[in-house]
Amino acid sequence: MNRVRVKFCGITSSGDADKAVLAGADSIGFVFFKDSPRYVTPEYAEAIIKDMPPFVTSVGVFVNEDLRFVEDCVEKCGLTAVQLHGDETPEYCLRFKNLNLRGAKLIKGIRVKDKESIRSIEDCQADAILLDAYKADMYGGTGRVLDISLAILAKEYGRKLIISGGLNSDNVYEAIKEIRPYGVDVSSGIESSPGKKNAELMEEFTCEVRRAEQD
């Protein structure tokens, strides 16, 4: 199996960023959605990103934001990638891609409710698709487990898939073996409380990802 990338999302402090790096994160996610308990300001994220090692990527998470704000955050923070996790249209995604902001990659988050949700992948111009568990009126960080059968259907579109939704060290091994994704994304599954990461849980999670790769 190819190497599975690990993204620890919802980092809210430099201390937690350091723990994530030590635990083996490939990417660190910063949530710029004000309704989230993991929200950080662009200025705060910028300060953390400046101290990150060169081979760890930074991902800004946005929900139904004005494109100009997304553009400003990419430029200010030096984001490696942008994750659109709201109801952004294919046209919005294409507009972002056409801007070619510092070469930042685009990840489109899809809240997977049913087969129709999966079909939306076809029209989405993104470098990777992130599948998250659906919960009405919540955009990520729900702790709900992704429907693996629907995630497997998504593989038919031949896109780089990142899976999310209720992942933790107890279930990520099986999820990887079933879906064989490009990457995994975890937030609540590595926390002591919303927005506060747990170093031990992060290390356990990464160990299970690497075990799945080797088996």
Task: Give the chain's length.
Answer: 215
Cα–Cα distance list, 19 to 61, 153, 173 (Å)? 20, 34, 21
Catalytic residue list: 9, 132
| Alpha carbon distance 90, 124 (integer Å) | 5
| Alpha carbon distance 138, 93 (integer Å) | 21
- From 136, 108, 140, 111, select the one nearest 10 (Cα to Cα): 140
- From 16, 2, 5, 126, select the one nearest 55 (Cα to Cα): 5
Name 62's bridge partners.
Answer: 84
CB 150 within 8 A of CB 129: no
At a CB cut-off of 8 Å and minimum separation 6, what does 196 contact?
Answer: 12, 16
